[in-house]
Structure 1
Amino acid sequence: MTASSSVSEAIISRFPASLELLVLALIPIVMVGSRLGIRAAMHPDGVADSVFGFFSIVGWATPDYIMALLILVGSFSAFGWLPIGSLSVALIKDWNSYTNSLIIDSILNLRFDILLSQLANLAQPVLTLFLVHSAYVFQISRATALDVKKRDFVRAARSRGVSERTIMLKHVRKNVLIPVVTVGGELFASLFTGLAFVETIFARPGIGRLLTDAAISVEVLTLSGCVLLIAAMMIIVNI
């Protein structure tokens, strides 16, 4: 690619694929990570806390590309699954592209078979990002929950006979989500960093793979365009 128009077209066509992956990974990362953190804080140093804490340390210490390779090798050895990247819309009859996002376009085209196939294709990369980055949310949620448990309003609820489970789910959980949202920009940045490895390993046609291919081919314009997009996303998320 040598023309700026070609670079912008490539970025526009690939950005929806990366956004699909980011959103589908971010939802379970926040929901599951925060819930497990609260669950661990209910009984500090208990079995659940020790087990979740161990796996969170392992997950956070494992680079995205190592986790991706482990999932790739494991899924192929156990089930014979190999990443097939993304479906080619050129092979789909009567297909209309509206957003370049297969998930959204499959819904708009009422092709739910394509939707299920695309979700299946995203399972491995989503699992990779989830296992690595949910550990960060878990640690923040657990630390916040333990701090909130010591506050006066929680002690007052406990003195009124409210069960520990109700206290954690009704009072503590709302306060746990505040720091999780606060570090959302940092979490988004770390997810975007992992895209280059995950999309390349699982043959996903997104911004991360475009960035990797451009770096290998020394395509300066494409590299600059991808970096500019990522920087803009970081600024928007942190506003």
Structure 2
Amino acid sequence: MKLRDYVIRRLLLLIPVLIGISFITFFLSHMIGDPAAAWLSEKTAGQPELVEKIRAAHHLDDPLVIQYYYYLVDLSKLDLGRTGRNEGGRPVVQALMDYFPATLELAIIGMILCLLIGIPAGILSAIYKDKWVDHIVRLGALVGVSMPVFWLGLIVKYWLSYKFGWFPLDGRLPYSITPPPDVTGMYTFDALIAGQWDTFFIAVRHAILPSFCLALISMAIITRMMRSSMLETMTQDYIRTARAKGLSERIVILKHALRNALTPTTTVAGIAFGGLLSGAVMTETIFSWPGIGRFSVKAIGATDFASIMGFAMLIAIIYVFANLIVDILYVYLDPRVKYG
């Protein structure tokens, strides 16, 4: 099967996945309250005629099955509805487009930290198995997996920001700094595109702590997966053959062992990236980062069902595409893998 056919088939499978996600989120959200409440303020909540007008405009008087039908029709047109009063009643798609770049920037920097730290740490741990390096890496990975994000965020903010002043406390940029021209919505990338190096380094300093806190668990998982994959790969016959040929240990590890050990690690990294995007709620709240995590928290607090369902649909799409990219990378990492 060709790559194009494989991608098309996987994209078609996205349709039933999104329908399933929409079905679950729609019916669960409508079980916890009146969707019309999201569009009402304290002043208008006591006006029955306005409530009925809102319910009629959004088909809320119809049975749930009919409401879900109208939701699917709007979804086919990429219309996710309108936000509640907490976001000014603007389209959900527009709100997600405004908030998503901040979360994507955080996730990309976090994934870079995961790969730059997790993969070398896993390789070193496997090479020096049962030595002091291995024990330190394994202990660090255990601490990383066990560390609650909210606790870690508060600790690093107190020590690294408040006590030592190495990093800013909150936000993406200081109020005195004008954001770079909006190209991607990600300040670090936009500053690079515009050649604003001072703004770039300031934006990176603001993003380091929240990115690290967000990525720590994934970093620990990637480290442990890389270690176990390398240990398994190093026992294979072709590794012994490479050593018997007189190749240096550096060549054996980097050229022969690493590429094969990366295959399972790639799966973990792809899933982790989706997790970074969807799991930023706590991190963005602690660091006042204006991403979709904070957007979803505000939507839940305001019982804004359209925004909640839009957030769920976006995360579902991200996970599907992350898995698709991982499956495509498999073929390049391991030629024995075929599209099927």
Length-normalised TM-score, structure 2: 0.65
* Aligned mates of 1:59, 1:28 — CA distance in 2: 13
Matched, 1:211 2:296: yes
1:97, CA displacement in angstroms? 2.1
1:97 equivalent in structure 2: 182
Residue 205 of structure 1 aligns with an amino acid whose one-letter code is P
CA root-mean-square deviation: 2.2
1:179 equivalent in structure 2: 264
* Aligned mates of 2:150, 2:181 — CA distance in 1: 34
Residue 56 of structure 1 aligns with an amino acid whose one-letter code is A
Residue 119 of structure 2 aligns with an amino acid whose one-letter code is S
Between structures 1 and 2, the one with greater helix share: 1
SS at match of 1:83: coil
Residue 313 of structure 2 aligns with an amino acid whose one-letter code is L
2:5 equivalent in structure 1: none
Q: Does the 8 Å CA contact 1:106/1:115 hold for their aligned counterparts?
A: yes
Q: Does the 8 Å CA contact 1:34/1:176 hold for their aligned counterparts?
A: no
More displaced, 46-55 or 212-221? 212-221
2:172 to 83, 86, 92: 86
1:63, CA displacement in angstroms? 2.5
Distance change (3 Å), C-alpha of 1:193 and 1:101? closer
Distance change (3 Å), C-alpha of 1:197 and 1:17? same
* Aligned mates of 1:55, 1:236 — CA distance in 2: 31
2:22 equivalent in structure 1: none
1:91, CA displacement in angstroms? 6.2
2:119 equivalent in structure 1: 34
Matched, 1:133 2:218: yes
Residue 215 of structure 1 aligns with an amino acid whose one-letter code is I
Identity across the alignment (%): 28
Residue 251 of structure 2 aligns with an amino acid whose one-letter code is T
Q: Where do 1:151-230 residues align within 5 Å?
A: 151-230=236-315
* Aligned mates of 1:91, 1:8 — CA distance in 2: 28
More displaced, 184-193 or 51-60? 184-193
For structure 2, the 5+ residue unaligned runs are 1-37, 40-81, 84-89, 325-340
Summarize deviations over 1:54-85 as a string: whole Å, max 9, x none: 11011011132222222122223531455231
More displaced, 140-149 or 125-134? 125-134
Higher gyration radius (CA):
2
Number of matched pairs: 238
1:56 to 141, 161, 168: 141
Distance change (3 Å), C-alpha of 1:235 and 1:90? farther
1:53, CA displacement in angstroms? 0.2
Q: Does the 8 Å CA contact 2:104/2:277 hold for their aligned counterparts?
A: no
Q: Does the 8 Å CA contact 2:162/2:169 hold for their aligned counterparts?
A: no
* Aligned mates of 2:116, 2:168 — CA distance in 1: 28
Q: Does the 8 Å CA contact 1:65/1:194 hold for their aligned counterparts?
A: no
* Aligned mates of 2:309, 2:174 — CA distance in 1: 27
Summarize deviations over 1:177-198 as a string: whole Å, max 9, x none: 1111122332123323430111
Summarize deviations over 1:29-52 as a string: whole Å, max 9, x none: 123211111111112111000010
1:161, CA displacement in angstroms? 3.0
Distance change (3 Å), C-alpha of 1:109 and 1:162? closer
* Aligned mates of 1:132, 1:20 — CA distance in 2: 18
Summarize deviations over 1:145-174 as a string: whole Å, max 9, x none: 011111111111222333434322222111
Residue 84 of structure 1 aligns with an amino acid whose one-letter code is D
1:13 equivalent in structure 2: 98
For structure 1, the 5+ residue unaligned runs are none
Q: Does the 8 Å CA contact 1:211/1:223 hold for their aligned counterparts?
A: yes
Length-normalised TM-score, structure 1: 0.90
* Aligned mates of 2:276, 2:186 — CA distance in 1: 19
1:86, CA displacement in angstroms? 1.7
1:141, CA displacement in angstroms? 0.5
2:320 equivalent in structure 1: 235
Residue 239 of structure 2 aligns with an amino acid whose one-letter code is V
* Aligned mates of 1:108, 1:164 — CA distance in 2: 41
* Aligned mates of 1:208, 1:78 — CA distance in 2: 27
Distance change (3 Å), C-alpha of 1:36 and 1:91? closer
2:233 equivalent in structure 1: 148
2:158 equivalent in structure 1: 73
